[in-house]
Chains A and B, each alone.
Chain A
């Protein structure tokens, strides 16, 4: 297959990718925006038309960037001074040969296994929201929302607006930890307003700090949520999520430097034989793509913005996306002008991360018989008997199923303190035909 040439290819059309495309277009560059969803907006703006989402969606559609939805980029390689992206869509396979690439690959949910989590009716927080956006009816359904982070409130509010009865929002972080976060909020008035608005729509809902879902009980589906204090709540569904993990796979495949730090205590689990986790109370980082001050990764021609650099939220993604777009269009000067704003956003994100740092308790909810890897039915006991991720993969086949560890990998990393980093193409499941068609391309049309 001959490759299709592009000046700038942006992978991912969430806030960071949209902002990158808009910024690069504003400098007159030719931009191809690739995304695997049916419409731009990413996970966070899925089916949201109002407010900032609507504005940015409109902006990118007017920008002159060529938007291709439903395209999965499964491999990236730097060859001969260019960056090749191997893609698959319903229309077939393609190779994009770009001068520069912006990776804006977003984040996925961190789901920590607890007894009963595999029962029907137990969802990820973002997962349930996506299902409801796609038409799942939650009217009158009793739901406990648990886990950690601002997303709990946002999703609870959304579900409540769609007619669900939110029984409880259980935030694992202690209220005392919110003090620092509140301080950061004071410096960012816009965010206080957002927070207050969120709270207003779920004003009657009990929101508890230092609380988490210890177990889901049920028969053919979930019936009860058992909280950490022993309280039992009758439910129709549980939505649980412990924050987000950046999607760094494509960056790793193209060879960009990624820092892995399993614990903020400074123990870098770089070698495969790292110790079992002892303390993660100050946060888990899972690997972040390393960029310079204008979003360039260690690989020439490859930029990165948003969540793969560390979870930062929409505002951070928009700033970083804009910077990456400018840099990709060789307007580093414009990117540099945004450095102070980025620093502010990142400071806020870090305050948020500290406030919502995961406590030891939620990393130890899985019992020996609790399934950790759903694809391969691997229990906690079998994983705990291993010494590191690669050994666990080889001996238990954990992370070897269709999801390729996208779900259990981050959970195992959090629970065991192992670095999960054996990323190889294809980073998403892809047809044999697509691999065959795109494997030979090295020159452009």
Chain B
């Protein structure tokens, strides 16, 4: 490739595409390179949920800023991106969880995020197919869903339109300014960004990023069966426990009337096969919240690998004095949500563009508690 690029972004998932897009919007000539197809990997496997999260201040800031950016982008995206502001409904099964929901409500209110606490009756009205007797829940009003592969395709078209390019190739190694491909070709650029998701650690061995397998199923069309993205509050315990295996109820209504059902988390499984045992577990969990879901028909099941980090925060930025790419990886289950914030931060780091995000919280040089790092 004779053209000199200002930046090469490795990885064609939502994080890589967002970084390439954000950099090209700030005037850089960008080459996006990675294994085909565009928007494959965890991006294709995930639900496509834009969720403002409150596990930590750093996670809140990144998700909230990203949600703002998604809101700004919504009118530019093609209709196939299927953006839908259905909101998230966190389900509280008992009083303890309802108290947790109220605590979250206070947290969000203080930070200007529109939320609403639902009691037993109002959650039943909001979602009639939930079982009766649930304590309540918390509605995050401006959470949304999107179909990520279409967004990736759109972003890379924008990159090409601004003088950049897309190259389908397997990357075998990379430094801060060079990328080697499977066929022996070497590419040069002003800077290289690594957004390789769960395979990032194959290029930079120190990265504390581990693949965490997930299963999802999708139903036939049942318009109106479910209205919000539904998540059990117990999800947080599951998502953040580093147990080998866990499941949590998570249901998403698609604009077509189909529904995506998750979620499972597994460490240490490398094969991508759909495991009947895990699918059964996910469904059993769902039936605890939505007994009638059992009669719905599943048309497809699949798996994907999240890029998990020890502290559940992504790794964004470069390490000083180390000849390796600038990192944009480790987004676990929040890659879709945080892709735009990540891209803004990467653009800020590389071009000095303004951002309200504090890079230190996501730094590649932070203390990972004995896992990787320096």
A interface residue numbers (CB < 8 A to B): 75, 77, 86, 272-273, 387-388, 390-391, 394-396, 400-402, 404, 424-426, 429-433, 435-440
Contact = CB atoms under 8 A, between A and B. Distances in A.
Contacts of A437: 280
B280 A440 contact: yes
B281 A439 contact: yes
Nearest to A79: B276
Nearest to A422: B302
B274 A440 contact: no
Given A401-B299, A435-B279, 8 more contacts: A86-B276, A394-B149, A404-B299, A424-B273, A432-B293, A435-B283, A439-B276, A439-B280
B360 interface: no
B104 interface: no
B277 A440 contact: yes
B279 A431 contact: no
A436 B38 CA distance: 33
Contact of A431 (B168, B281, B296): B296
A433 B219 CA distance: 12
B220 interface: yes
B110 interface: no
A401 B302 CA distance: 14
Interface string B251-267: 00000000001000000
B295 A431 contact: yes
Nearest to B292: A432
A391 B37 contact: yes
25 contacts: A75-B276, A272-B36, A272-B37, A387-B37, A391-B36, A391-B37, A394-B37, A394-B38, A424-B274, A424-B300, A425-B274, A426-B301, A429-B298, A429-B299, A431-B298, A432-B294, A433-B283, A433-B294, A435-B217, A435-B279, A435-B280, A436-B283, A438-B280, A439-B281, A440-B280
Contacts of A390: 37, 40
Contacts of B361: none
B168 to A, nearest CB: 7
A169 B286 CA distance: 53
B142 interface: no
Contacts, number: 99
B277 A432 contact: no
A391 B149 CA distance: 9
Interface string B207-246: 0000000000111110000000000000000000000000
B298 A391 contact: no
Interface in B31-58: 36-40, 44
B300 A387 contact: no
A439 B298 CA distance: 14
Q: Ordered nearest first, which 4 A-B pairs have the shortest CB separation?
A: A439-B280, A394-B149, A391-B37, A433-B294
A409 to B, nearest CB: 13
B201 interface: no
Contacts of A394: 37-40, 44, 149
A351 to B, nearest CB: 38
Nearest to A255: B273
A170 to B, nearest CB: 34
B150 interface: yes
Q: Which of A390, A391, A395, A438 has the most CB of B within 10 A?
A: A395
B276 to A, nearest CB: 4
Given A272-B37, A395-B153, A439-B277, A430 B302 contact: no
A373 to B, nearest CB: 13
B297 interface: yes
Nearest to B220: A402
A424 B301 contact: yes
A273 B37 CA distance: 9
Nearest to A77: B276
Given A394-B39, A429-B220, A432-B283, A438 B296 contact: no
B38 A391 contact: yes
B319 interface: no
A227 B80 CA distance: 35
A388 B276 contact: no
Contact of B295 (A387, A396, A432): A432
B79 to A, nearest CB: 12
